[in-house]
Amino acid sequence: MMNQQNGLTIAGVTFGSRFLFGTGRFPSPAELRESLAESGAEIVTFAVRRVNLEHTEDDSVLQHLEGKKLTYLPNTSGARVAEEAVRIARLAREAGLGNWIKVEISGSPVTLLPDPIETLKATEQLAKEGFVVLPYTSDDPILCKRLEEAGAAAVMPGGSPIGTGLGLLNPYHLSLIIEEANVPIIVDAGIGSPKDAAEAMELGAAGILANTPVAKAGNPVRMAKAFALAIEAGRIAYEAGRIPRKRYASASSDEAGSLFAAGPT
């Protein structure tokens, strides 16, 4: 597994924060700005289809990010096949949004689960074109490895279907993905609370991408801070090394030193 103790490094760029921040669905621009500030995130994602590519400086989302030192991670949300995702990525780069791209290709309008075949095809093509590709995918260990081999700079398996808040439905699969990876594994989608984020980080995830659980919280600004703390705590716990799980109880103090230890009869 990749060692990321000194920060999150993707494609040779190191970030102090392991929180990747989604910008959609916030109640107001002011709460978006404040939440982003509280999160400490340095990477932000947004749907290219919601951006005015002809006048990015006046865009309703991007104008609220001006003046901040951020790495843009536009995503291909809305794409149904690899060809569409590749076209969206090219348009984003031509509009000056950089060469980082989150490949997001939905295979079902009901579950919004990613299409594995089209995601792999798009990742391979965009990597060949020099993009820094971060594909959103299902928690399939084999597919995640294939995406890495196709040139993904990081792989982003979901914990559960996007927007459900169900948390990590298959921690075992995520642990296998992390164990086999030579690129950062960022858990994306399905995170419902800071508890879920901490759990993913304790498994060894390199980072967390979250949007809905912050944007739709009762207090998005406070929730953004809670996520930042949970991600940091989970990472520290992972690096510290948790105790092994045991079937039976184990006393925390030596019974031989007890004041009430049984003596000779």
- Tell me, letter by letter, the H, E, C secondary structure of 75-120: ECCCECCHHHHHHHHHHHHHCCCCCEEEECEECCCCCCCECHHHHH
Residue 250, amino acid? S
| Residues forming a β-bridge with 15 | 8
Which of 68, 69, 102, 246 is catalytic? The answer is: 102
* Entry field: residues in the chain: 265
Query: Going along the chain, which residue ranges are E strands?
Result: 8-10, 13-15, 19-22, 43-47, 71-75, 100-103, 132-137, 156-157, 186-188, 207-210
Annotated catalytic residue 121: no
| Positions marked catalytic | 102
